[in-house]
Amino acid sequence: MKKWLIPLLGALLFLSGCSKWIDRGESITAVGSSALQPLVETVAEEYQSKNPGRFINVQGGGSGTGLSQVQSGAVEIGNSDLFAEEKSGIDAEKLVDHQVAVVGITPIVNKGVGVTNISLENLRKIFLGEIKNWKEVGGKDLDIVVLNRATGSGTRSTFEQWVLDGKTAIRAQEQDSSGMVRQIVTDTPGAISYTAFSYVTKDVQVLNVDNVEPTDENVTTNHWKIWAYEHMYTKGEPNKLVKDFLDYMLSEEVQGKVVSKLGYIPISDMKVERDWQGNQIK
């Protein structure tokens, strides 16, 4: 046999094996929230290492995409920062909610603006276009550059609900990716946006709001109100493989170590509970 045929046959056998795994339902696709994406990707890698032959494909695209694709049956899991009830065009009764973590969301600014604390009222006015220079809130004489998440983003919806009182932010540059939002804020003088705690690095400055710090502890008590549940929705009850992966996501091993390490908050740490309308029910 010619030498070049050996690796070719090996590749064909590998692909054939993958096809058989997929045919047996050994592949899951999870799509949606970019805020939740780093956690799902990390847990998926660990799950795959413990379960050879099982594949978890994780993609972003935003909460709206995750909800619409799981509803249509295009994917097995829709990752979302939103309750399904909050998204128009989604029939929440057909979806099953699996809450896997809580994510805090914080305003972030370029480190050169000269502000570390802001009132909720002034933060709202910035994103509604009523305050346009940082000197108006005690910072430098520098134009404010607003950066929004894209329409359909669960992070944006949560921010607008709790900061803008349900109003829509001014038209501004939009980004799908939380990581790209952080990078643009880092590089742009006067920039402000918002992101999940898990995306905050030393390259940006977080803002306290009304002297309350954006910390996990303040989220668990609802003193910091800009937070959301991280949902992994299925269309109806999950099949065996999906259920196994979700059970692993909610296991003590993952919740006790991986979730906190990546900047999320385990569900069990929450001292309060909110319904889909934002009402505190516990």
Average pLDDT over residues 72-98: 95
3-state secondary structure the chain: CCCCHHHHHHHHHHHHHHHHHHHCCCEEEEEECCCCHHHHHHHHHHHHHHCCCCEEEEEEECHHHHHHHHHHCCCCEEEECCCHHHCCCCCHHHEECCEEEEEEEEEEECCCCCCCEECHHHHHHHHCCCCCEHHHHCCCCCECEEEEECCCCHHHHHHHHHCCCCCCCCCCEEECCHHHHHHHHHHCCCEEEEEEHHHCCCCCEECEECCECCCHHHHHCCCCCCEEEEEEEEECCCCHHHHHHHHHHCCHHHHHHHHHHCCCECHHHCCCCECCCCCECC
| Domains of the chain in sequence order | 26-102+226-269 (3.40.190.10), 104-220 (3.40.190.10)
103-114 pLDDT tens trace: 999 999 999 999
Average pLDDT over residues 76-99: 95
Average pLDDT over residues 124-140: 97
pTM: 0.80
pLDDT at 130: 97
Average pLDDT over residues 17-24: 44
Question: Using 50, 70 and 90 to split pLDDT, how confident is the model at 49?
Answer: very high
